[in-house]
Structure 1
Amino acid sequence: MSSDPWGRVDEQGNVYVRTAEGERLVGSWQAGSPEEALAYFERKYQGLEAEIGLLEHRVRKTDLAAKEAHTALEHLRAQVVEAHAVGDLDALAKRLDTLNGEIDSRQNERKAARAKAQEETRAAKEALVAEAEQLAESQQWREAGDRLRALVDSWKAMPRLDRKSDDELWHRFSHARSVFSKHRKAHFAALDSERDQARAVKEKLVAEAEALSDSTDWGATAAEYRDLMTQWKAAGRAQRDAEEELWARFRGAQDVFFQARSAAFSERDAEQGENQKAKEALLVEAEALLPISDLKAAKAALREINERWEAIGHVPRDARPKLDGRLNTVERAIREAEDAEWQRTNPEAKARAAGMTGLLQAAVDKLQGDLDKARAAGNASKVAKLESELAGRKALLDQAQKSLEEFSG
Structure 2
Amino acid sequence: MSSDPWGRVDETGTVYVRTAEGEQVVGSWQAGTPEEALAYFERKYEGLVVEIGLLERRVKTTDLAAKDAQTAIDHLRQQVDEHHAVGDLAALRERLDALVATVDKRREERKVQRAKQSDEARKSKEALVAEAEELAQSEQWRSAGERLRALVDTWKGLPRLDRKSDDELWHRFSHARSAFSKRRKAHFASLDAQREEARRTKERLVSEAEALSGSTDWGPTAARYRDLMTQWKAAGRAQREAEDDLWNRFRGAQDVFFAARSGVFAERDAEQGENLKVKEELAAEAEKLVPVTDLKAARAAFRSINERWEAVGHVPRDARPKVEGRMHAVERAIQESEENEWRRTNPEARARAAGLTGQLQAAVDKLREQIDTARASGNNARADKLSRELEGRQALLDQALKGLEEFGG
Larger Rg: 2
Calculate the TM-score normalised by the size of structure 1: 0.45
Calculate the TM-score normalised by the size of structure 2: 0.45
